[in-house]
Amino acid sequence: MNKQRVAKLIKELLVEIGEDPSREGLLKTPARVAAAYEFLTSGYRTNIKTVINNAVFHAEANNMVVLRNIEVFSLCEHHMLPFFGHCHIGYIPKKKVIGVSKLARIMDCHARRLQIQERLTAQIATDLMKAIGAEGVGVVMECRHLCMVMRGVEKQESVMTTSSVLGSFHNDAATRAEFLSLVGRSGGG
């Protein structure tokens, strides 16, 4: 990402919305926004294999593994406004487990791009399944979208929930129900 070019564009944006980019409070804003976008879109410059960094280990475990309440922040691709909340990831290993921090890192790799929550949820599940060849994978995300909260319909209490279930989490109602129960969602059939 060319931070100088982005800073120039932000300066132009400030003028277009009626601001004076030379006033004291805005002098460094273009550079700050460019640095923020470099971080917030770092997923475009991140490779999943590098993120996982060979942290896949042989294990005889075949019980469900769940990591709950991973904080997630992303930018809505429609308005470039933040959405944020929690992500819950579960899987049943098939001779391979993954380092626990890698679950959050896989999520961040995709969240640090312009996104829609539905796609983000599916990308996390798909990459985890590919990385370890799990028997099944489940991902649930619960997020607040500022495009709904602070503009548009202005519904401050709205929370969007998405899920992606693969393998046994998709094919077996009992497995799916156990996962949803562990992450605090009702597991109906």
Euclidean distance between CA atoms 131 and 188, whole angstroms: 29
Residue 147 falls in the annotated catalytic set: yes
Q: Which of 4, 12, 71, 77 is catalytic?
A: 77
Q: Which of 117, 123, 142, 178 is catalytic?
A: 117
Residue 87 falls in the annotated catalytic set: no
Q: Which of 4, 71, 78, 118 is catalytic?
A: 78
Buried b (16+ CB within 10 A) or exposed e, 25-53: eeeebbeebbeebeebbebeebebeebbe
Q: Which of 76, 87, 109, 143 is catalytic?
A: 76
Q: How many CA atoms lie within 13 A of 99 on its CB side?
A: 10
Residue 86 falls in the annotated catalytic set: no
Residue 110 falls in the annotated catalytic set: no
Q: Which of 19, 38, 86, 147 is catalytic?
A: 147
Residue 70, CA distances (Å) to 44, 108, 133, 156, 177 in order: 21, 10, 22, 22, 20
Residue 117 falls in the annotated catalytic set: yes
Residue 16 falls in the annotated catalytic set: no
Q: Which of 87, 110, 145, 178 is catalytic?
A: 145
E-strand ranges in the chain read 56-58, 65-76, 82-92, 96-98, 114-115, 136-145, 160-167
Residue 79 falls in the annotated catalytic set: yes
Which DSSP category does 27 fall into?
T
Q: Which of 38, 79, 86, 170 is catalytic?
A: 79
Q: Which sequence positions are flagged as catalytic?
A: 76-79, 117, 145, 147
